[in-house]
Structure 1
Amino acid sequence: MTTTQNTPTAAGAGANASKNFKATAASGDLADTPPERVAAIVTAVLKGVHDAIAEHDVTYPEFQAAKGWLMAVGEGGEWPLFMDVFVEHAVEEQVAKSQSGTKGSILGPYYLPDQTRLESVCELPHQDDPNATPLVFDGQVRDIDGTGLGGATVEIWQSDADGYYSGFAEHLPEGNLRGVVVTDDEGRFSITTIQPAPYQIPTDGPTGQLIEAAGWHPWRPAHLHILVKAEGHRPITTQLYFAGGEWLDSDVAEATKPELILDPQDDGTGTRRTTYDFELEPAKA
């Protein structure tokens, strides 16, 4: 089993995730949402909390512990981590009900904008690792009618062979295993990278304390993060997983889907190869 060693601290990862979220989040806030919708959603959330208190006969010491934990999550900058791991998948699934094209998945807390643009046939920037397994990932970006979308971008980011992400682990160079690949005239691309590893979300902060207290595990299966864009089309944010991978059936973030599983094959040279095509629906007016 591949394991993440010397995992970056929750405080460090949380600080980076919070900083990045503040810099890249949509500019809209509650002021953009009608008061009646704010009231309806907040009332429903509070009702869920109130119902849980009644159903499980929550005590004052448990209530105080929950308040302390919520404060610790905020002070440690872990809200992006907690929300992305435990809540985002439900939002993504709800939004997907009105969408077509390639299946989406969560963005997660490790996205960083403004990465290097690469040609359609390229190798992701990466630190040398003799123990890493080479992986060639190719495919095509198409409209839902099958037309290739030239000039589309396939933004990719992933962990390394030890489960670390650049920007969230000090020993990795900036931009490691990150890039924005521009498709050719037919929407095709071929990316040489390495096989990522499963990893555990940071466990030394309040999110980890909750996981331990609940008896859950903190692991995510190995995956590639993908963000596909083309002019005039709805962007797709997704994750691609690997057949037979560890934690595939028990992802802590509950983000895996059967349609998003790759099955790379060794080409006889020690390099694994896999193909996946993306279909984008037209953007709604």
Structure 2
Amino acid sequence: MTDATVNATAATAAASGASATERFLTDKTGTAADTDIARVNVLATELIGAVHDVIRRHQVTYEEYNALKAWLISVGQDGEWPLFLDVWVEHVVEEVASAARKGSKGTIEGPYYVPGAPELPNTGTLPMRPDEAGTPLLFQGQVTSTSGEPLAGARLEMWQADDDGLYSQFAPGIPEWNLRGSVIADDEGRFAVTTIQPAPYQIPTDGSCGRLIAAVGWHAWRPAHLHLRVTAPGHAALTTQLYFKGGEYVQDDVARAVKPELVLDPKPVADGGHQATYDFVLDPAS
């Protein structure tokens, strides 16, 4: 990654966190409003109890407690709760939620999903700038059910970072739907999408999450990946990410979202680009 890219990422980190928070508050709040009070009691009691156990086990001091308190306040002020939870917590929630899945593996959604992306035919190109940087990538495959039936008209919502590791609608100066689209599979559930191979990117480090990373000595990088949300009538939605064999940080993703089944093995093609095939299998709706 170039110095210019690093500077661009740093310049947009705070805005990215604010955008992720605003998007979450618009799209996701209230989804568990009908949760039984006894369930909330169990979860809240055990979560707080786990914090108490850590304090006792490690003899946490008042100085450390106050540092934690100040940091938690700053996470909210920086708009980074979606970032913190999506990077360090969501992968376990997804693991529990998809434990019974028989079809394709899922993984975290992350903070950068935006509904309503432009609809594309089964063979099409994600919206991109005329001079979009990056290695061309043809991504193709088929969507079927667990019984092997092709799922005609399946919808594949795709979104990804650009060659600088930035997402449209979360970084300035990028067209609204850049590298975002809803691809409609054909009668055999097949699709072929032209895009560019995304770059690895560093999660924002100029806010509270960055201070945590620096304090504990972790790295802040996610491997290059394509995001997908695959749906078809009568079937459970699949949210996943696909990574690239041999790519940086595939083995030590900061978000711990990589699974072996989700790693693509792109092959070179004559135009200097790459081609990758991946088939999706959707479970029946419960």
Range into which the TM-score falls when normalised by the shorter chain: over 0.9
Deviations 1:131-170 (A, max 9, x none): 4110000000101111111111000000111111111111
* 2:27 is equivalent to residue 21 of structure 1: no
**TM-score, length basis structure 1:** 0.96
Alignment of 1:51-66 (within 5 A): 51-66=53-68
* 2:93 is equivalent to residue 69 of structure 1: no
CA distance in 2, matches of 1:12, 1:100: 39
- TM-superposed deviation, 1:28: 2.9
* 2:92 aligned partner, one-letter code: A
> What's the secondary structure of 2:46's corresponding residue?
helix
Report the equivalent of 1:12. Answer: 15
Report the equivalent of 2:234. Answer: 232
> What's the secondary structure of 1:192's corresponding residue?
strand
CA distance in 2, matches of 1:136, 1:69: 43
CA distance in 2, matches of 1:11, 1:71: 15
Report the equivalent of 2:151. Answer: 149
Alignment of 1:106-125 (within 5 A): 106-125=108-127
Gaps of 5+ in 2: none
Rate the CA distance shift 1:153–1:46 in 2: closer, same or farther, 3 A.
same
- TM-superposed deviation, 1:54: 1.3
Q: 1:149 touches 1:185 (CA, 8 Å); kept in 2?
A: yes
* 1:148 aligned partner, one-letter code: P
- TM-superposed deviation, 1:35: 1.6
Report the equivalent of 2:193. Answer: 191
Q: Which moved more, 1:129-138 or 1:227-236?
A: 129-138
Report the equivalent of 1:273. Answer: 275
Report the equivalent of 2:50. Answer: 48
Deviations 1:104-152 (A, max 9, x none): 0000011111110000000001123464110000000101111111111
Q: 2:229 touches 2:239 (CA, 8 Å); kept in 1?
A: yes
Alignment of 1:224-263 (within 5 A): 224-263=226-265
Q: How many residues were matched structurally? A: 283
* 1:120 aligned partner, one-letter code: N
CA distance in 1, matches of 2:168, 2:265: 25
Gaps of 5+ in 1: none
Q: Which moved more, 1:266-275 or 1:180-189?
A: 266-275
Report the equivalent of 1:213. Answer: 215
Deviations 1:224-264 (A, max 9, x none): 00000000100000000000000011100000000000000
CA distance in 2, matches of 1:58, 1:117: 53
> What's the secondary structure of 1:32's corresponding residue?
coil
Alignment of 1:106-185 (within 5 A): 106-129=108-131, 131-185=133-187
Q: 2:12 touches 2:172 (CA, 8 Å); kept in 1?
A: no
* 1:132 aligned partner, one-letter code: G
- TM-superposed deviation, 1:10: 3.1
Deviations 1:201-223 (A, max 9, x none): 00000011011111000000000
CA distance in 2, matches of 1:231, 1:49: 42
> What's the secondary structure of 2:140's corresponding residue?
strand
> What's the secondary structure of 1:193's corresponding residue?
strand
> What's the secondary structure of 2:41's corresponding residue?
helix
Deviations 1:44-89 (A, max 9, x none): 1112111111121111011011111111111111111111001000
* 1:243 aligned partner, one-letter code: K
Report the equivalent of 2:266. Answer: 264
* 1:113 aligned partner, one-letter code: P
Rate the CA distance shift 1:250–1:83 in 2: closer, same or farther, 3 A.
same
CA distance in 2, matches of 1:272, 1:256: 21
- TM-superposed deviation, 1:268: 2.4
> What's the secondary structure of 2:72's corresponding residue?
helix
- TM-superposed deviation, 1:39: 1.1
* 1:72 aligned partner, one-letter code: S
> What's the secondary structure of 1:273's corresponding residue?
strand
